Structure 1
Amino acid sequence: MPAPNVISIDKLARLVGLPASPLLVDLRDRPASAIPGSRFPAAGDLARWCRSHGRAVVVVDADAGGSVAAAAILRSEGIAAEVLDGGVAAWIAAGFPTLKLAALPPRREDGRTWWVTRARPKVDRIACPWLIRRFIDPDARFLFVAPGEVLDLAARERAEPFDVADDRVPWRHRGERCTFDAMVEAFGLAGHTPLARLADIVRGADTDRLDHAPEAAGLLAISLGLSRMHGDDHAQLDAGMAVYDALYRWCRDAQGERHDARSHAPAAGVSA
């Protein structure tokens, strides 16, 4: 019989990267890598911090033992909390992707990473925030400003600039590779097949190589349409998150599915 209040490695792997993913709380002290989407709350009132996010919690440690007490305390506070079966060690042993934390910029006083880029995003500047919020720092803050203001604001606000054509900025296009590629690779996520497939689509849409992936033309059309629908960059980002959520799920689960007039017709002899 499975232990109560324990989530399996396989089940968590199906939830990571999705908008309904649980709040993944990592208790380890300064780890080199982590499960994508992990949060690292400061020492203090963990229950209050978790409650402020309003989501079910999965507590992880190096192995399952270190997180049992924390999860039990959270449940005593009325917070739905589970322990990852086997902890991070089991996650790594199972071959699931881990996030390289050395590439993560320093967090601000609010515990979030801050990022800044050019206003009026189209493809890369929506794809990158999606990647960051789903896999890197779910609480990340994004600032959109005029192109000439990006580096000044980055220095003044200690925000990480991205998708800027400047050799001083690590998160930028390099040859035929776009900024999304740079982030996927630097954070150690290139081995995650669905993200690698999504990177192909983003690259095709963002670099005018629509023959690179059949889906690139559709992503470009949707991105340009969203840009014209939304005058506010943050509203556009919110709408774009759903687009990339859907594309990621297609890359992960639905590439083999086809749809035409007969795809969902009842089988012969079965009434609709």
Structure 2
Amino acid sequence: MPSFLEISPDKLNRLIGTPGAPAIVDVRTEEDFALDPRLVPGSIRRTHADVTSWADSIDADAVVVVCQRGAKLSHGVAAYLRHAGIDAESLEGGFEAWIAGGLAVPEAKLPRRDAQGRTVWVTRSRPKIDRIACPWLIRRFVDPDAVFLFVPTSEVLAVGDRFEAVPFDIEGVFWSHRGELCTFDVMIEEFGLASAPLLHLARIVRAADTARLDLAPEASGLLAASLGLSRMYSDDLEQLEAGMLLYDAFYRWCRDATEETHNWPSPKKGA
């Protein structure tokens, strides 16, 4: 059982992917990281020795610190962060405990980060489904600070080249449709995020994005809501922010509420 200065892997797993998830900081040594160069979803790498120089840059209400075994490095960094006024906990058992039952993102799959430590992505403007679903997945499970550039279709590759942004959901690039799979499917597979709830959500996204609504009964609702948002917002980034809530809701339904039904009028007491 974790102490009041620790969080269990199970509890952290329930928070990851939700709007209220803590920032996750991986402080494993280079030697330990080389043994398994994967990351707890959504985490960033920092060195424990430099904690006093980067502690003030953490923009989060709560932080979970991860080291190899949940011992001196994570507890020491968490203590420094608490000294800086940040609510910080150590991951119980560290990365070794996490990988025993949790998802992990291969570091080699992550794009090069910019000077601010953010991944930068570029895609076609006027997003509908895949180009909202993919940024949601990235921000919730890969890089909470990811930057998304929406540009004319004809300029996606050139902007990617000039601004070192990774193109996605456009023909001829790595992060795009593959056969019957949409880009959201591909990202789940490549980032090692194949949990049951995300795979369920992926089927809904694929059905709505590829006009195969028979694949999932919920796809019609996602399509309708997505097209409605595209009519409500002329600014793609504002639409993305609104779409984040939509996908938060669909994810929580896939994870927690698929067995729940709703009827009206409600059954009378004692009936």
Q: 1:132 aligned to 2:138? A: yes
Deviations 1:196-247 (A, max 9, x none): 0000000000000000001111100000000000000000000000000000
CA shift for structure 1 position 46? 2.8
Amino acid at match of 1:90: A
Give the structure 2 partner of residue 237 of structure 1.
Answer: 240
Q: 1:12 aligned to 2:12? A: yes
Amino acid at match of 2:41: P
1:64 is paired with a residue whose SS is coil
CA shift for structure 1 position 58? 0.7
Find the aligned partners of 1:105 and 1:24 in 2 and give their Cα distance: 18
CA 17–3 in structure 1, closer or farther in 2 if over 3 Å, else same: same
Amino acid at match of 1:126: I
Equivalent position to 2:261, from 258, 261, 265: 258
Amino acid at match of 2:13: A
Find the aligned partners of 2:89 and 2:5 in 1 and give their Cα distance: 5
CA shift for structure 1 position 29? 4.5
TM-score, normalization by structure 1: 0.93
CA shift for structure 1 position 28? 2.1
Find the aligned partners of 1:4 and 1:208 in 2 and give their Cα distance: 49
CA shift for structure 1 position 110? 1.4
Find the aligned partners of 1:163 and 1:233 in 2 and give their Cα distance: 15
CA shift for structure 1 position 41? 4.0
Task: Report the identity percentage.
Answer: 56
Q: 1:113 aligned to 2:119? A: yes
Find the aligned partners of 1:255 and 1:218 in 2 and give their Cα distance: 15
CA shift for structure 1 position 267? 2.6
Where structure 1 has 5 or more consecutive residues not aligned to the other structure, the ranges are none
CA shift for structure 1 position 40? 2.1
Equivalent position to 1:175, from 176, 179, 184: 179
* Paired residues, number: 262
Equivalent position to 1:70, from 68, 73, 77: 77
1:252 is paired with a residue whose SS is helix
Correspondence list, 1:31-46, <5 A: 31=33, 32-41=37-46, 43=50, 45-46=53-54
CA shift for structure 1 position 88? 1.0
Amino acid at match of 1:70: V
CA shift for structure 1 position 102? 1.2
CA shift for structure 1 position 72? 1.0
Amino acid at match of 1:268: G
Find the aligned partners of 2:220 and 2:46 in 1 and give their Cα distance: 40
Tell whether the 8 Å contact from 1:41 to 1:49 is kept in structure 2 after alignment: no
Equivalent position to 1:246, from 237, 249, 256: 249
1:25 is paired with a residue whose SS is strand
Aligned alpha-carbon RMSD (Å): 1.5
Give the structure 1 partner of residue 198 of structure 2.
Answer: 195
CA shift for structure 1 position 268? 2.0
Amino acid at match of 1:213: A
Q: 1:146 aligned to 2:152? A: yes
Where structure 2 has 5 or more consecutive residues not aligned to the other structure, the ranges are none
TM-score, normalization by structure 2: 0.93
Give the structure 1 partner of residue 24 of structure 2.
Answer: 24
Find the aligned partners of 2:178 and 2:212 in 1 and give their Cα distance: 15
CA 260–182 in structure 1, closer or farther in 2 if over 3 Å, else same: same
